[in-house]
Homo-oligomer: A and B are copies of this chain.
């Protein structure tokens, strides 16, 4: 294993310290590194808190700031944060509007966020994301996995919170965005968890994993590597075939898993966009880049959100975080 690190016990803390120092205008580290929070809070606004295992950066700490999250709780690599972390984050950033947890659907995360919600004194609601169409149940999940669509939920709900929406409205909006969002991923290579020291899975030089999870969990099937157009066609079949309706304005989000050149991501975007237009969608908004990664895994996911006017408006609203910035 070759990584830029000093030791498996310190990699997360050293990285978070660097992150908070590099973005000190936006974020500060919470006590004992339990969470990363906004440097400045807005009184009375419902607090948006997310979190999950580390190794998916910039998710979630990269989305803390105006227009998105108030705090993010980083677990160890690919390991849920603890209820203690979520509770500490909630206590630090709740300013009278209650707390909305945004949780990716993995058993550990769901259980720990639920426990934190039960321990909380104030109002807490939760949006659970499960946008991955690849598999119904998985290594760490009952039901579908929450993957890159989580960023779309965080952006749109974050903008609504900034605009003054109350806790119940944010919960409803988050559920609606999640329901309008589908994703699927493909892996060309594995990733290596620092504490494991070896690749999470073995894959041949001529194989790809269709429907891979963001922890390297198995997807739908292992198939021979093939041209990007054919890979994208399979992914878009799965994504678009899962919607109840088709056509209309869509957000097209091509997400790199960490080890994929930008050149390839834009090529995938180009193919996915052509397919959407052929199927009667208009690509109304776009996002291309590394937003929900799996360490250094090569591959990408495609996310499509069927946008309504409210969602599109919130997508366009100003945001100022380490990983996403617009309009300010």
Contact = CB atoms under 8 A, between A and B. Distances in A.
A23 B286 CA distance: 8
Interface stretch (A11-19, A103-111, A153-161): A11-19
A246 to B, nearest CB: 21
A263 interface: yes
Contacts of A188: 2-4
Contacts of A265: 4
Nearest to A203: B2
Contact of A15 (B208, B229, B270): B270
A272 B7 CA distance: 17
A82 interface: no
B2 A208 contact: yes
Question: Looking at chain A, what size class is its interface with the partner chain?
Answer: 35 or more
Given A4-B188, A205-B2, A267-B4, A262 B57 contact: yes
A299 B4 CA distance: 8
A191 to B, nearest CB: 8
A21 B189 contact: no
Interface stretch (A167-175, A289-297, A303-311): A289-297
A296 B260 contact: yes
A299 B296 CA distance: 11
A260 B326 CA distance: 25
Contacts of A288: 18-19, 22
Interface in A255-306: 258-271, 273, 283, 286, 288, 290, 293, 295-296, 298-300
A180 to B, nearest CB: 20
Nearest to A266: B18
